[in-house]
Structure 1
Amino acid sequence: MAPTVRVRRVYDPPSEADGSRVLVDRLWPRGLAKDAAALDEWCKDAAPSPGLRTWYGHDAAKFDEFARRYRGELRDADHAEALHHLRDLAHEGPLTLLTATKDPGISAAEVLGDELRARGGRRR
């Protein structure tokens, strides 16, 4: 059974269905006070590299290529431990990946969520 992994904007109010709320952006969201974020943790090591993030620039036309490149990054040693940690959280219960992106459907958090759901939330 696939784990429950949701992707939401960090600016949206928390929901009881969220489970663990984890910010997966490398940069802290603009205008959001840390005490108002309602996070369980900030896992910035799961975020795309600065170079990939800059290249992508949240351009919807580049999303498919961005997703392909980011999936490649998720397999490297720099991202491995963060990805394993998120898989463990997803296995324990509902997990909500949070992003400051205006359109979460074309975000790194969405790609990350797809990866976690596809792998069943278990450590490999």
Structure 2
Amino acid sequence: MIQCKRVYAAVAAGDGYRVLVDRLWPRGCKKDSLHLDAWLRELAPSAALRKAFCHEAERFEEFRLHYRNELAAHPEHWWPLLDKARSGTLTLLFAAREEQLNNATVLAEFLEDELDRQQPGSSPVCYADEAH
């Protein structure tokens, strides 16, 4: 199971494996007080894409498309998270105020699509033709 949660929300027993998926450390959070299992900056959108999106709702669909292309170009960054999601709860942590239109929700959707696509015993898919 994959879920998204603001980094500022309280830790819950059912959060499972908690991963921060933002490129920048969240404002106001001390590194020693934030409960997480990993900080995977490489899963965040590129700096150029993040700046172009600027958290504006009317740009979200374009952001979503470009971010999915970035993810498809680097399966080595997200492939290990599929096992975490298969074996328990994977919580993607983000700092954005907008709880629906953010990189974590796009990443969760992307990972869910990958889980649906894979069959037991399958090997990593080649994404070379999908990244533009």
**TM-score of the pair, normalised by structure 1:** 0.90
Per the alignment, residue 65 of structure 1 pairs with 62
In structure 2, the partner of 1:110 is 105
Deviation at 1:93, TM superposition (A): 1.1
Report the CA distance between 1:81 and its aligned residue.
Answer: 1.4
Q: Does 1:75 align with 2:102?
A: no
Tell me how far 1:29 sits from its aligned partner.
0.4
Identity %: 42
Unaligned runs of 5+ in 2: 125-132
Superposed CA offset, 1:9-68 (max 9, x none) = 001011111110000000000110011111011011111110000100110111111001
CA distance in structure 2 between the partners assigned to 1:85 and 1:51 by the alignment? 25
Query: Which residue of 7, 10, 13 corresponds with 1:16?
Result: 13
RMSD of equivalent CA atoms: 1.4
The structure 1 segments of at least 4 consecutive aligned residues displaced by more than 3 Å after TM superposition are none
Structure 1 residues not aligned, in runs of 5+: none
Q: What's the secondary structure of 2:5's corresponding residue? A: strand
Q: Residue 113 of structure 1: CA displacement? A: 0.3
Q: Which residue of 1 aligns with 2:23?
A: 26
Structure with the higher helix share, 1 or 2: 1
How far apart are 1:80 and its partner, in Å? 2.0
* Larger Rg belongs to: 2
Name the structure, 1 or 2, with higher relative contact order (CA <8 Å, separation 6+).
1
What secondary structure is seen at the aligned counterpart in 1 of 2:96? coil
TM-score by length of 2: 0.85
